[in-house]
């Protein structure tokens, strides 16, 4: 019987690994299972995707307890570590540390917070991307690190200086401050299609803590270019949600048009697959074992 490290430790190992590692977006139990089935070793619980899947905006329209409920389904559905997108921490240091305490209790492996204001705005939207003060954000990181009840729970600090237009020097200054405050890893985020500013950051950062990348906009850059430049872990941030959106649109349009299921039956997952992924076979075995014959 070989020992499998718990999920906190597995995420921490992914962050500190010398090899390129990857997190796949998931936003509910089903997408978590599909990511696990595909072979991913960890999940990104995207704020954008969870919000979109529940029909709300990525502006903290969900409360943090609603996010927690979604995480519980995901964590129960798979045996993968989850890095949850904690937006800006749902308030100040005190709101954030309440969230961290609950994540640890529930077995969620880590949280990422970004240095903007509450309520947050998605980084790819035009308009205000005001940065939090460095001091306030460092206080948040420290409060989270002080309250975490598992030593390998990870707090990732996401730098929005390039998103907000504050520039490279600001980004590097914040990276150093967040590492000093105790962040286990950083995210440097960019909304540019070319990777120049990301590569410059990776070149200038001393890598005393690892750097995570989210190449949603610079996706054409070969992944190896990013990891060779020092990116430790890459997040595929929203592609299960966007894939589902596209597939559901096409299915609805066809059924609406045809008033028939004939054209879609071969295009959707068979019901047997739905039952298999839900784990119905285990329930049959359990019934045989535990349920008195009627």
**Could you give the residue numbers annotated as active site?**
58
Applying CB under 6 A, among 46, 75, 129, 227 the residue interacting with ligand SPV is 46
Within residues 219-238, the interface with ligand SPV by CB under 6 A covers 237-238
Applying CB under 6 A, among 14, 24, 48, 77 the residue interacting with ligand SPV is 48
| Rounded Cα–Cα distance for residues 42 and 233 (Å) | 11
* 115 contributes a contact to Mg ion by CB under 5 A: no
Q: Chain-centre distance of CA 157, in angstroms? A: 13
* 152 contributes a contact to ligand SPV by CB under 6 A: no
* 89 contributes a contact to Mg ion by CB under 5 A: no
| Rounded Cα–Cα distance for residues 87 and 230 (Å) | 24
Which of 73, 275 has the CB closer to ligand SPV?
Answer: 73
* 70 contributes a contact to ligand SPV by CB under 6 A: no
| Rounded Cα–Cα distance for residues 132 and 178 (Å) | 12
* 110 contributes a contact to ligand SPV by CB under 6 A: no
Q: What are residue 187's DSSP bridge partners?
A: 158, 212
Which of 48, 179 has the CB closer to ligand SPV?
Answer: 48
Counting residues that bind ligand SPV (by CB under 6 A) gives 11
* 216 contributes a contact to ligand SPV by CB under 6 A: yes
Q: In this structure, are residues 198 and 226 in contact, taking their beta carbons and an 8 Å threshold? A: yes
Which of 113, 202 has the CB closer to ligand SPV?
Answer: 113
Mind giving me the DSSP string for 100-134?
Answer: HHHHHHHT--EEEEESBPSSP--TTSSS--PBPPH
* 47 contributes a contact to Mg ion by CB under 5 A: yes
| Rounded Cα–Cα distance for residues 105 and 107 (Å) | 6
| Segment interacting with ligand SPV, rule: CB under 6 A, options 8-16, 45-53, 222-230, 243-251 | 45-53
Closest approach, Cβ 46 to Mg ion, in A, equals: 6
| Rounded Cα–Cα distance for residues 167 and 89 (Å) | 23
Give CA angle at 213 (248, 80), nearest 5°: 60
Give CA angle at 20 (18, 26), nearest 5°: 130
Closest approach, Cβ 29 to Mg ion, in A, equals: 20
* 240 contributes a contact to ligand SPV by CB under 6 A: no
* 214 contributes a contact to ligand SPV by CB under 6 A: yes
């Amino acid at each position: 019987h070989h020992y499998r490290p718990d999920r906190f430790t597995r995420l921490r190992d992914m962050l500190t690994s010398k090899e390129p590692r990857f997190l796949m977006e998931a936003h509910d139990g089903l997408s978590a299972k599909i990511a696990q089935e595909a072979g991913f070793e960890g999940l990104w619980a995207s704020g954008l995707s969870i919000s979109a899947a529940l029909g709300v905006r990525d502006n903290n329209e969900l409360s943090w307890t609603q996010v927690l409920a979604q995480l519980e389904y995901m964590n129960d559905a798979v045996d993968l570590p989850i890095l949850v997108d904690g937006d800006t921490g749902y308030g100040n240091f005190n709101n954030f540390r309440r969230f961290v305490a609950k994540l640890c209790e529930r077995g969620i492996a880590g949280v990422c917070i970004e240095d903007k204001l509450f309520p947050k705005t998605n980084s790819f939207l035009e308009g205000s991307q005001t940065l939090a003060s460095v001091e306030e954000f460092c206080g948040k990181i420290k409060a989270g690190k002080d309250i975490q009840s598992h030593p390998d729970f990870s707090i990732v600090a996401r730098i929005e200086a390039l998103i907000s237009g504050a520039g490279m020097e600001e980004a590097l200054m914040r990276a150093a401050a967040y590492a000093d405050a105790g962040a286990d890893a950083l995210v440097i985020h960019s909304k540019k299609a070319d990777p120049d500013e990301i590569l410059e950051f990776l070149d200038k950062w001393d890598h005393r803590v690892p750097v995570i990348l989210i190449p949603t906009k610079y996706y054409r850059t070969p992944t190896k270019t990013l990891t060779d430049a020092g990116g430790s872990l890459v997040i595929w941030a929203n592609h299960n949600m966007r894939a589902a959106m596209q597939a559901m649109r096409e299915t609805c349009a066809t059924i609406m048009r045809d008033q028939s299921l004939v054209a879609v039956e071969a295009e959707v997952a068979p019901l047997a697959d739905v039952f298999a992924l839900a784990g119905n076979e285990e329930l049959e075995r359990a019934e045989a074992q535990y349920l008195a014959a009627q």
